[in-house]
Amino acid sequence: MADPKRFEPAPAPARPAAGGIAARAQAKREAPYLAALNPEQREAVETLDGPVLVLAGAGTGKTRVLTTRIAHILNLGRAHPSQILAVTFTNKAAREMKERVGHMVGEIVEGMPWLGTFHAIGVKILRRHAEMIGLKSDFTILGVDDQIRLIKQLIEAEKLDEKRWPARVFAQIVDGWKNRGLTPEQVPGGEAASFANGKGKKLYAAYQERLKTLNAADFGDLLLECIRLFKEHPDVLKQYQSRFRFILVDEYQDTNVAQYLWLRLLAQMPTTAAPSGGLVLRDASPNSSTGRAERGPYGDAPQDEGKGAANDAFDPHPEEARSAVSKEEAQGVSLEDTWGEPEALDSGSSPSVAAPGMTDRKNICCVGDDDQSIYGWRGAEVDNILRFDHDFPGAKVIRLERNYRSTGHILAAASTLIAHNEGRLGKTLHTEDVDGEKVEVTGAWDSEEEARAIGEEIEQMQRAARDEGADHPLDEIAILVRASFQMREFEERFIQLGLPYRVIGGPRFYERAEIRDALAYLRVIAQPADDLAFERIVNTPKRGLGDAALQMLHDYARKQRIPLTEAAAIMSSTDEMKPKPRNALRGLMESFARWRKQKDTLPHTELAEIVLDESGYTEMWQKDRSADAAGRLENLKELVRSMEEFENLAGFLEHISLVMDTAEGDSEQKVSIMTLHSAKGLEFDTVFLPGWEEGLFPHQRSLDEQGKAGLEEERRLAHVGLTRARKRARIYFATNRRVHGMWQSNIPSRFLDELPAQHVEVKEAAGGTGGFGMSGYGPSRFDEAGAFGSKYTTPGWQRAQGRRGAGGFSENGQPRYVPDGVFNQDEDYGDDVAPPRSSSPPPGGGRSAAAGRREGVKPRVPLTIEGELIAKSSGPASAFKTGDRVFHLKFGNGNVTAVDGNKLTIRFDKAGEKRVVDSFVERV
DNA sequence: CCATGCGGCCTTTTT
DNA sequence: GGCCGCATGG
């Protein structure tokens, strides 16, 4: 990477490691762990000074670099374990890293207190300085459900219609703001106005205030409040800056703006720095695509609407920016390093350097892969990684391109696919492995056949392996789906086959109702002021304390400005309440008093058992006859079991608010079923990738809402999927699929076209009849009715290709893609409807003639309201009427028995009665 | 206060 | 087609 103007971090030349002797000693020890690395990996490990970005493609040894780097730093004596900040996104990653570093260096890691997730480290920092941001150090961390409940109350207090302005929606908006590092004051006016008639900002502020009174923080706060703390208390920031001599970041492509700002502060980069036009922008690397520079971190570009508003985070309104800068700089220049130890010398030399804010170490090493950024929808900014060398001037960029995981064909397929993305830094993965099996692409008639085919292949692989006396462990097989509704089909099939499987993902353990309830009891015991927890369980199990009773408590508590539990204690002995609820309340409060006493005498696990028992909570589930009650009881036991690892209740609660994943303790061999998202970071010998159809993958919604950016993210997801496979990758698409209870026909995913033919083998599912209906691209899922009765007779793939030539694709088989993610714009809208609200207006290009249209096509009725597509009973009347004789591609002939908007109920001759969207049948 | 029924929604998910 | 959340009525 070009770095024409390199700011040499001052101390580089004569930087003694922890004394000359240690340095010498280290030279000998160098060999073993470094020798095991390839040259690029080694460079990534050894380049310790200044900012480093390691672009680590899938399977190139990312974790190894990270862990070896830590080991190396420790080994050279460049820092103590407690002087290294290493952040990850998930607890799992943190755990793994800890373990692997542990193996390399031994017990020292015990003393790596700053290795953890962004959030865990955020909490740790906040607890130490809680008073400075208006909290007490024992503040609670709110989960999403608490968050929503709280917001609901605020919305009600504002007398807003909770229907029109749902708390859930606002919670997401607030989350988005926090992800972007925006405090209430910083939220751009326009954006804030869009919720609740301009009350957005006020609500956000009220929410924050309420959190403070509850002595609570939500997940977003763990970072945002840290940032605020750092900005308002430069001395505190200073402390951490001098502590962290080395910063390592895993999965950098997943960082959001808040995390980015947080890192910049700690890495001693000026956040709102160098007045623009300065050094940084001029450094714009030559190969960076246009558009990046003006979105640079210093926000010198005019704000554009929507997405661009993210810039606000980088460049709060000018006044604020200025004051922030001057404050930081004032402190920054006069730094007097608080570092107590001998090797602190280095900082002394740099402050004199002219460049403002450019002081000290900036030994930050970010590892990531822009091609694996798949969390844009929850605030991750791919830009963070794309722009790294702007943001961290003088950064060294190291590419790891040698793949140690997949065979040649798989890697080639994945690389070719991802090369279709424009917004990427570009890497060329290569392997020295054999070519192996080609990537198989199989067309199936419907999702059921897809599941059947995959089931059979798995059984066959098992058989084949057994014949060879080998074994294809089921653990090495995964089915990676785009959306979780796809899973059911596989589960059903596998149950039939008796094939053991495991679904990974789904609701997190600690998000389950029974766990949250149990925790709420414990929280109230540990923290009587935890109103949200109290509210949660006050009537769970039912004890006659409904809304009315709760309302009284609320009123009283608010009036007296006391926590709910206190209000409850008082009201249980006054006569304001009716006797019945009052007695119930008194009973509950007495229980709590008793449990609180027992807290200090009994082991916490025992206490938990007593609480669950005496509160009637366990009993509630024992009486419950629904199917999952047993599982819930099991979960409760698991919860108690998991408490054993902790010293006390407080320690456990702290842990559980941040962590708590089901330790997936079963060792039985099983096929894994999971979403592509949860597959990131995993690998398997064999990977099945079903559902590669337009609309599902790439997902329509992603296209509609994010346009090109959405498409590229979907493509990265496809790339992630393929690169999970070591030896076999098998892709499927189904022509028909049931979505929301109705059958829908789909065409194969455009991603299939983007795979290199020479590395792919096209198959047809056994007994498959293939065939391609068409649901159409673009904003409508229900248009293009006339694609049926098609002339396609050739098997699947050819038909797919044929179909493409016919509509929406240019000659070379490339999709005729217009940059806003909308296909065949012209065909999808009637004259009377507007194009989708989200994307930019369709450019002139991309209009295809209605080529490939067959005649006899039912005039399509576009159902659009303000660009939102609807398919509901209120829609315009269908062109069909009761009694019509119709043909459906999957079900054959039948008679319409009922019409509901565009939904038809049809009695099919063979298939029985079904509900179908009208665009999928034709009159005969 | 609780059970029942109807209407609306429905991608991905960590902390 | 299924779940969740809310409104109604007992």
pLDDT tens figures, A730-778: 999 999 988 877 788 889 999 999 999 999 999 876 544 333 333 222 2
A60 known member of a binding site: yes
CB burial of residue A740 (10 Å; 0-12, 13-18, 19+): exposed
Is the confidence at residue A250, as pLDDT, over 70?
yes
The pLDDT, as a whole number, for residue A251 is 94
Task: Tell me the CA–C1' distance in angstroms for A338 and B9.
Answer: 56
Are β-strands A742-745 and A84-88 bridged in parallel, bridged antiparallel, or unpaired?
unpaired
Q: Which range, A342-351, A356-365, A799-808, has the best average confidence (pLDDT)?
A: A356-365
The pLDDT, as a whole number, for residue A660 is 59
Residue from A581, A590, A632 nearest A614 by CA: A590
Is the confidence at residue A148, as pLDDT, over 60?
yes
* Mean pLDDT to the nearest integer, A273-281: 29
* Mean pLDDT to the nearest integer, A296-313: 32
Give SS3 for A52.
Answer: strand
Task: Tell me the CA–C1' distance in angstroms for A550 and B1.
Answer: 12
Nucleotide nearest to A152 (CA to C1'): C5
Residue from A896, A905, A899 nearest A924 by CA: A896
- Find the angle CA(A269)-CA(A270)-CA(A275) to the nearest 5 degrees: 135
What count of other Cβ atoms lies within 10 Å of the Cβ of residue A304?
Answer: 11
- Find the angle CA(A842)-CA(A846)-CA(A852) to the nearest 5 degrees: 130
Task: Tell me the CA–C1' distance in angstroms for A152 and B1.
Answer: 22
Give me the percent of chain A exceeding a pLDDT of 90. 33
CB burial of residue A167 (10 Å; 0-12, 13-18, 19+): buried
Which of A334-338, A561-565, A768-772 shows the lowest per-residue confidence on average (mean pLDDT)?
A334-338
Give just the sign of the alpha carbon dihedral A312, A315, A320, A325.
Answer: positive
Task: Tell me the CA–C1' distance in angstroms for A483 and C5.
Answer: 23
Check residues A578 and A506 and name the one with the higher pLDDT. A578
Report the catalytic residues of A: 62-63, 250-251, 372, 724
Is the confidence at residue A174, as pLDDT, over 70?
yes
* Mean pLDDT to the nearest integer, A893-907: 72
Domains A439-500+670-764 and A510-659 share a fold: no
**A510-659 belongs to CATH 3.30.70.260:** no
CA separation for the pair A88, A107 (Å, rounded): 21
Quickly state the pLDDT bin for A692 (edges 50, 70, 90): very high
CA separation for the pair A127, A630 (Å, rounded): 38
Token pair of A103 as six digits: 């193996």
CA separation for the pair A335, A344 (Å, rounded): 12
Strand ranges for A334-456 from DSSP E:
364-368, 396-400, 402-403, 430-431, 439-446
Quickly state the pLDDT bin for A135 (edges 50, 70, 90): very high
Token pair of A774 as six digits: 């068409």
Which of A188-192, A212-216, A327-331, A675-679 shows the lowest per-residue confidence on average (mean pLDDT)?
A327-331
Contacts 24+ apart (CB under 8 A), A422-428: A422/A289, A422/A712, A423/A289, A423/A370, A423/A382, A423/A386, A423/A709, A423/A712, A424/A370, A424/A371, A424/A386, A425/A55, A425/A370, A425/A385, A425/A386, A426/A287, A427/A55, A427/A57, A427/A369, A427/A371, A427/A399, A427/A401, A428/A401
Quickly state the pLDDT bin for A371 (edges 50, 70, 90): very high
CA separation for the pair A791, A854 (Å, rounded): 9
The pLDDT, as a whole number, for residue A290 is 30
CA separation for the pair A599, A330 (Å, rounded): 49
Nucleotide nearest to A148 (CA to C1'): C5
Quickly state the pLDDT bin for A467 (edges 50, 70, 90): confident
Check residues A792 and A84 and name the one with the higher pLDDT. A84
Quickly state the pLDDT bin for A363 (edges 50, 70, 90): very high
Give just the sign of the alpha carbon dihedral A765, A767, A771, A776.
Answer: negative
Give Cα separations from A542 to A99, A585, A621 (angstroms): 45, 12, 12
Query: For chain B, which bases have at least one atom within 7 A of a protein Cβ?
Result: 1-3, 10-15
- Give the DSSP per-residue string, A612-672: HHHTTHHHHHHH--STTHHHHHHHHHHHHHHHTTSSSHHHHHHHHHH---------S--EE
Give just the sign of the alpha carbon dihedral A637, A641, A642, A648.
Answer: positive
Task: Tell me the CA–C1' distance in angstroms for A507 and C3.
Answer: 14
Mean predicted lDDT score pLDDT of chain A: 73
Bridge partner residues of A444 (DSSP): A734
Give me the percent of chain A exceeding a pLDDT of 70. 70
3-state secondary structure A366-386: EEECHHHCCCHHHCECHHHHH
Is the confidence at residue A266, as pLDDT, over 70?
yes
* Mean pLDDT to the nearest integer, A55-69: 94
Domain map (residue ranges) of chain A: 119-399, 439-500+670-764, 510-659, 781-923
Residue from A296, A264, A252 nearest A66 by CA: A252
Is the confidence at residue A796, as pLDDT, over 70?
no
The pLDDT, as a whole number, for residue A65 is 95
The pLDDT, as a whole number, for residue A755 is 95
A213 known member of a binding site: no
Which of A38-52, A284-298, A509-523, A775-789 shows the lowest per-residue confidence on average (mean pLDDT)?
A775-789
Is the confidence at residue A380, as pLDDT, over 80?
yes
The pLDDT, as a whole number, for residue A201 is 86
The pLDDT, as a whole number, for residue A109 is 55
Residue from A481, A511, A512, A482 nearest A671 by CA: A481
The pLDDT, as a whole number, for residue A920 is 65
CA separation for the pair A176, A169 (Å, rounded): 11
Is the confidence at residue A720, as pLDDT, over 90?
yes
Q: A152, A162 in Cβ contact below 8 A?
A: yes
Quickly state the pLDDT bin for A365 (edges 50, 70, 90): very high
Q: Which range, A419-428, A547-556, A828-837, A879-888, has the best average confidence (pLDDT)?
A: A419-428
Nucleotide nearest to A539 (CA to C1'): B1
Task: Tell me the CA–C1' distance in angstroms for A318 and B5.
Answer: 56
Quickly state the pLDDT bin for A107 (edges 50, 70, 90): low
Q: Say if residue A698 is preceded by a cis peptide, omega within 30 of 0.
A: yes
Check residues A654 and A724 and name the one with the higher pLDDT. A724
- State the nearest residue by CA to the C1' of B10: A740
The pLDDT, as a whole number, for residue A666 is 63
Strand ranges for A740-806 from DSSP E:
742-745, 760-764
Q: What is the pLDDT of residues A498-541, one digit of tens each?
A: 888 888 876 677 777 888 888 889 989 988 888 888 888 888 88
Length of chain A: 924
- State the nearest residue by CA to the C1' of B14: A90
Residue from A244, A241, A236, A263 nearest A88 by CA: A263
CA separation for the pair A919, A858 (Å, rounded): 8
* Mean pLDDT to the nearest integer, A664-691: 88
* Mean pLDDT to the nearest integer, A29-55: 88
Task: Tell me the CA–C1' distance in angstroms for A330 and B10.
Answer: 53
Q: Identify protein residues whose C-beta is within 7 angstroms of any atom in strand B.
A: A 89-92, 117, 119-120, 144, 219, 377-378, 482-485, 505, 508, 511, 539, 542-549, 581, 658-659, 661, 674-675, 677-678, 699, 701-702, 705, 710, 714, 740-741
pTM as predicted: 0.73
Is the confidence at residue A895, as pLDDT, over 70?
yes
Which of A12-21, A338-347, A440-449 shows the lowest per-residue confidence on average (mean pLDDT)?
A338-347
Give SS3 for A763.
Answer: strand
A662 known member of a binding site: no
Instruction: Fill in the DSSP letter of residue A867.
Output: T
Q: A237, A325 in Cβ contact below 8 A?
A: no
Residue from A47, A46, A12 nearest A30 by CA: A46
Q: Would you report the helix, strand and coil content of chain A in percent, each value rounded to 5?
A: 45, 15, 40
Q: For residue A260, what are the contacts with CB-CB under 8 A and spacing of at least 6?
A: A181, A381, A384, A391
H helices within A158-273, ranges in order? 167-179, 189-193, 200-213, 219-232, 234-243, 257-266
Bridge partner residues of A675 (DSSP): A481
Which of A82-86, A277-281, A475-479, A736-740 shows the lowest per-residue confidence on average (mean pLDDT)?
A277-281
Give SS3 for A396.
Answer: strand
CA separation for the pair A437, A59 (Å, rounded): 18
Which of A91-100, A140-149, A212-221, A717-726 shows the lowest per-residue confidence on average (mean pLDDT)?
A140-149
The pLDDT, as a whole number, for residue A665 is 57
The pLDDT, as a whole number, for residue A716 is 95
Nucleotide nearest to A513 (CA to C1'): C4
A546 known member of a binding site: no
Quickly state the pLDDT bin for A835 (edges 50, 70, 90): very low
Task: Tell me the CA–C1' distance in angstroms for A582 and B1.
Answer: 14
Is the confidence at residue A137, as pLDDT, over 70?
yes
CA separation for the pair A25, A309 (Å, rounded): 53
Quickly state the pLDDT bin for A357 (edges 50, 70, 90): very low
The pLDDT, as a whole number, for residue A727 is 95
- State the nearest residue by CA to the C1' of C1: A741
Is the confidence at residue A866, as pLDDT, over 50?
no
The pLDDT, as a whole number, for residue A533 is 87
Which of A53-57, A62-66, A450-454, A625-629 shows the lowest per-residue confidence on average (mean pLDDT)?
A625-629
The pLDDT, as a whole number, for residue A297 is 32
Task: Tell me the CA–C1' distance in angstroms for A314 and B4.
Answer: 52
Q: Which range, A48-52, A106-110, A471-475, A858-862, has the best average confidence (pLDDT)?
A: A48-52
Query: For chain C, which bases have at least one atom within 7 A of a protein Cβ?
Result: 1-2, 6-7
Nucleotide nearest to A678 (CA to C1'): B13
Give Cα separations from A663 to A92, A635, A644 (angstroms): 10, 12, 14
The pLDDT, as a whole number, for residue A768 is 40
Contacts 24+ apart (CB under 8 A), A230-233: A230/A262, A230/A265, A230/A266, A231/A265, A231/A271, A231/A324, A231/A327, A231/A328, A232/A132, A232/A133, A233/A129, A233/A132
A57 known member of a binding site: yes
CATH code for A439-500+670-764? 3.40.50.300
Residue from A49, A45, A93 nearest A70 by CA: A45
- Distance, first Cα to last Cα, chain A: 64
CA separation for the pair A183, A162 (Å, rounded): 24
**Rg, chain A, Cα only:** 30
Check residues A681 and A834 and name the one with the higher pLDDT. A681
Residue from A209, A642, A175, A718 nearest A420 by CA: A718
CA separation for the pair A52, A302 (Å, rounded): 30
Q: What is the pLDDT of residues A385-434, one digit of tens each?
A: 988 988 888 899 999 999 999 999 999 999 999 999 998 888 889 998 88
Q: Identify protein residues whose C-beta is within 7 angstroms of any atom in strand C.
A: A 162-163, 740-741, 915
Q: For residue A330, what are the contacts with CB-CB under 8 A and spacing of at least 6?
A: A234
The pLDDT, as a whole number, for residue A397 is 94
Check residues A270 and A819 and name the one with the higher pLDDT. A270
